Amino acid sequence: MTLQMNDTHRMFLQALMTRRIMQGKEVKKIYNYCHEACDVLTEDANLSQFVVAINSNIRLYNMEIKKGVNEVSGAQYYALVNLSDSPVTRLAADFTPLELELFKKMMDMIVYSDNGIISSIDAINLTSVLDKKMSKDAAESVVQRLAIDKWINVERGDVSLAVRGILELDQYLRETYGELLLTCNMCKQICLQTASSSSNLPASRIR
């Protein structure tokens, strides 16, 4: 069922289309700003219903706002995801086939690692197993661009899939790695890093 949208919904959607992914705190600020700009009263508790209304309209165009959680910090994120094309295919607009091959090799290594994290050095050294030659400087540039576009996290020399990567590449990850993946019992988000007592994610997971 398609729910009615107004200028508040459209303004919010435009902001998310520009950013592609936003942290929960930023989403609430923009949510409140859109209502103030349109002179509409609002409550934080209505955010979920607000997103449902938008999704009921944009699914017609194979788009959806998805909510995800950073496995380390527990911070919530909202991402605008295109459901029509393969996420890896969409990356082809910004990355060459060889650069995409490097990213896929990085995902292989991340998924098969013990904790969903690899070193940036290991990521760059994957140039040795690519079908064509790529310099390590070029590989380092690819890693940096993936981080800037929020597909991966790079912190203190560690590389992991970012929330955007997990949400937008969900279909690819499930089709490629299947039962190797762990899934959060509560939100069904793919989990690649080990759960800790300090995380806001449920510690219980299923294969």
| Residue from 155, 127, 129, 128 nearest 141 by CA | 127
pLDDT tens figures, 32-73: 999 999 888 776 558 999 999 999 999 999 899 999 988 878
For the chain, the structural domain boundaries read 7-61, 87-206
Predicted confidence (pLDDT) at residue 114 exceeds the cutoff of 60: yes
Residue with tokens 């310099």: 135
pLDDT tens figures, 166-189: 998 998 899 999 988 988 877 788
Neighbours of 94 (CB within 10 A): 12
**Domain 87-206 part of CATH 1.10.10.10:** yes
Task: At 45, list the tokens.
Answer: 């508790």
